[in-house]
Chain A
Amino acid sequence: MSGMHRDRLNGNGIRREKQRRTVRNVIRIASLFLFNGYLTGFRNGRIFTGRTKSVCVPVLNCYSCPGALGACPIGSLQAALGTSGGRFPFYVLGTLMLFGAVLGRLTCGLLCPFGLIQDLLAKITSKRITVPKKTDRLLRYLKYAVLALFVIILPAFFRDDFGSSVPWFCKYICPAGTLEGGIPLTLADRALREMTGPLFWWKVLLLAAVIAGSVFIERFFCRYLCPLGAFYSLFSRVSAARMKIDSSACISCGKCGSVCPMALDPVRQISSAECILCGRCADICPAEAVSLRFSLFSVNALREKD
């Protein structure tokens, strides 16, 4: 038995696991307030108009959320594609590329407020729906279709007579916009409430479906629908933040797979584009074979001592 494994069994490992979990939870709550810190907005039904709104945040966070201090990158990308008159969206795409190369899907697992909400929803019950593997594999491609169609193609090519287009994803799909922007604003502002119609109720219905899905299927929206997650997953194999497994230390107990919110098997899929780097597999591993690594300028092999 290795020293590390002994450590885990005698309690040191469990203490480390708790410390790591606490640090992660603190970061997640801090990022929630960092991206949505304008609390006054929720009371008076107004949105923040400070200079930080010209900066894209790394997560899906509606800029019409009363608390939002920054701009949503997916909303900004659609706006740039739809109103730039055919110009390449250098600023937004560069920002997304930088976030993707440095953080990758760590943003999904650690920073995203909508991811945090889904994790809380999953705590409502321990009952889970297991999506058949074939269906699951097909549904996971849906988020790439959403990215390509609703975020890029439709906003870029379907314009009105004035040369501008609508943010298709925000308008017809985004449940984060409904939850963070639509509901708080219509509750706080009577004029907006009176303007609600079929589109609003369609989005509320979609939000309800995502909430219900997230209760029984962990990270439902991240798995199947999120276009930002789809974009970041393109960087999974090269991003500075990555999961790593020491195969020689792995005892093949299967615990890592049982806690993965994305229904992956970390032993076989450590560099999967679906991994959101939440670190739960590293926490549960009794042999401490799995770890979250961050190295900006060097990459060691993902799988040590194969």
Chain B
Amino acid sequence: MDNTGRTAALIRAVLIITGAILITIGILGKEYVSVFNKAVRICLECIGIG
């Protein structure tokens, strides 16, 4: 593996770990409830009415 490849792999690993940490924080803060509440009601703005 060359230097570019190694750097890319390192950045990718950092991003994956950071992503997983952010998701965990979000789940602990019950942010998925807001996503759920928004997604189960017809979004009038999204369909061009509201």
Q: Which residues of B sit under 8 angstroms from A203, Cβ to Cβ?
A: 48
In the complex, the answer to whether B22 meets A91 with C-beta atoms within 8 Å is yes
SS class, residues of chain B in contact with chain A: helix
- B23 contacts A171, CB within 8 Å? no
Which residues of chain A in 72-106 are interfacial with respect to chain B, using CB atoms and an 8 Å cutoff? 72, 75-76, 79-80, 83-84, 87, 89-98, 100-102
Q: State whether the Cβ of A56 lies closer than 8 Å to any Cβ in chain B.
A: yes
Q: Which residues of B contact A296 (CB under 8 A)?
A: 12
Query: Could you tell me the distance in whole angstroms from the C-beta of A27 to the nearest C-beta in chain B?
Result: 22
| A299-B39 in contact given A91-B26, A170-B46, A171-B50 (Cβ < 8 Å) | no
Pair A299/B8 contact, Cβ less than 8 Å? yes
A181 to B39, CA, bound (A): 12
Within 8 A of B (CB), among A253-305: 296-302
Contact in complex: B16, A98 (CB < 8 Å):
yes
Bound together, the chains give a CA A89 to CA B22 distance in angstroms of 9
Q: Are B40 and A53 in contact (CB under 8 A)?
A: yes
A-B pair count, CB < 8 Å, reads 180
Find chain A residues with CB under 8 A from B26 CB.
Answer: 89-92, 94
Which residues of chain A are near B48, meaning CB under 8 Å? Answer: 171, 177-178, 182, 196, 199-204
B22 touches A167 (CB 8 A): no
Q: Which of A75, A96, A166, A199 contacts B38 (CB 8 A)?
A: A75
Residue in A closest to B49 when the chains form the complex, CB atoms: A195
Report whether A53 and B39 are in contact in the complex, using a CB–CB cutoff of 8 Å.
yes
Residues of B within 8 A of A47 (CB): 40-42
Residues of chain B contacted by A75 (CB below 8 angstroms): 38-39, 43, 46
Q: Which residues of A contact B45 (CB under 8 A)?
A: 166-167, 170-171
The reply to whether the CB of A185 lies closer than 8 angstroms to some CB of chain B is yes
Contact A240 B12 (CB under 8 A): yes
- Contact at B38–A93, with CB atoms within 8 Å? no
In the docked arrangement, what's the CA distance between A186 and B42, Å?
A: 11
**CB within 8 Å of B: which A15-49 residues:** 47-49
Residues of A within 8 A of B44 (CB): 195
- Is A107 in the interface zone, CB < 8 Å from B? no
Residue among A63, A177, A182, A204 with the most chain B CB within 10 A?
A63
**A199-B48, A298-B5 known; A95-B34 Cβ under 8 A:** no
Q: Does A64 contact B (CB under 8 A)?
A: yes
Contact B31 A92 (CB under 8 A): yes
A238 on the B face (CB < 8 A): yes
Hey, which chain B residues are within 8 Å of A301, CB to CB? 1-2, 4-5
Chain B residues with CB under 8 A of A177:
43, 46-48
B49/A200 in contact, CB under 8 A: yes
Most buried by B among A97, A200, A201: A97
Answer whether A94 and B4 are a contact pair too, CB < 8 Å, given A64-B46, A80-B31, A297-B9.
no
**Which residues from B are CB-within-8-Å of A239?**
12
Q: A90-B25, A174-B46, A202-B48 are in contact. Are A71 and B16 (CB under 8 A)?
A: no
A62 at the interface (CB under 8 A from B): yes
Instruction: Determine the chain B residues whose CB is within 8 A of the CB of A55 once the complex forms.
Output: 32, 35
Residue pair B34, A79 in contact (C-beta under 8 Å): yes
Task: Identify 8 new A-B residue pairs, CB closer than 8 A, beyond the known A71-B35, A170-B43, A192-B42.
Answer: A76-B39, A91-B29, A92-B26, A94-B18, A97-B19, A170-B46, A182-B47, A185-B42
